[in-house]
Amino acid sequence: MSGTALIAGTGALPRLLAAAAPGMLICEMEGFPADIPGATPLRFRVERLVPFLDGLVDQGVTRVVFAGAMRRPRLEPELFDPRTASLVPRLVGAMQAGDDATLRAVIELFEEWGLAVVGADQIAPDLVPGPGVLAGNPGPGDASDADRAAAIVAALGAVDVGQGAVVAQGLCLAVESLPGTDAMLDFAALHQGLRPDPAGGKGVFYKAPKPGQDRRIDLPAIGPETVARAAAAGLAGIAWQAGGVLLLDRAATIAAANDAGLFLWAREP
């Protein structure tokens, strides 16, 4: 896809986008290698962000898509060029305000260079399912747990904490924070005995974007590994906000859910 750069992090999403739109310029931040077969990524450092942006423009890039996981890098002051150094107060201020503010600041910088930031769903629309049940059959108790989890996730997102929660029998067993979804589900697996009625509802993992989140970047995602961890946690299924969550490797995720006896439910907001 000429004119488009993929800022790739780790995980499956960058590979899926690269396969869906061949020809994109693949870029990766040093220390966070993207596993994209056959690609020779253009590497960059935050300390040299301005030369990197200039280079994208010089290569005819007009739009950018971000995909994959990245952590905040450890910055080395001696590597900053003067123009990038002038942006440090702005970036540090955004970082101190939280992840959402950081992402908004990054988007603004790219746009100042005339680079349109687009969402992964604009590159591969099939990755974002519309409303409906894709596997299994959620029951009334599951719907109630999903409602409760959605309210919790909305509250967490409002203070920029996380995008997921696990609820069983109306009780919140775990919430997503900085360690991420896998850590949350692993915690739920270790504390399955917290359900008050062992014969009652198994529980639901619910995921959704944060309220007011810019959906061009950092959309939540689920895939086969999510299903495996939800099954290990003894849950009945996974629900998410329809139109707001990426479903990675749809066929494999649905097959994994059917094999594990879990439902997958793209739920109306």
The domain segmentation of the chain, as residue ranges, is 4-123, 128-267
Which CATH architecture best describes the domain 128-267? 3-Layer(aba) Sandwich (3.40)
pLDDT for residue 160: 82
Looking at the domain covering 4-123, what would its CATH class be? alpha beta
Residue keyed to tokens 């439910």: 265
Q: What is the mean pLDDT of the chain?
A: 91
Q: Answer yes or no: pTM beyond 0.85.
A: no
Which has the minimum average pLDDT: 1-15, 91-105, 133-147, 200-214? 91-105
Q: Which residues contact 94 (CB under 8 A, 6 or more apart)?
A: 101, 102, 104, 105
Q: In the predicted model, is pLDDT for residue 100 greater than 70?
A: no
Q: In the predicted model, is pLDDT for residue 101 greater than 80?
A: no
Confidence of residue 32 (pLDDT cuts 50, 70, 90): confident
pLDDT for residue 89: 84
Sign of CA dihedral 269, 242, 132, 141: negative
Q: Report the candidate in 62, 65, 92 with the shortest Cα–Cα distance to residue 77.
A: 92
Task: Please answer whether residues 26 and 18 qualify as being in contact, where contact means their C-beta atoms are separated by less than 8 angstroms.
Answer: yes
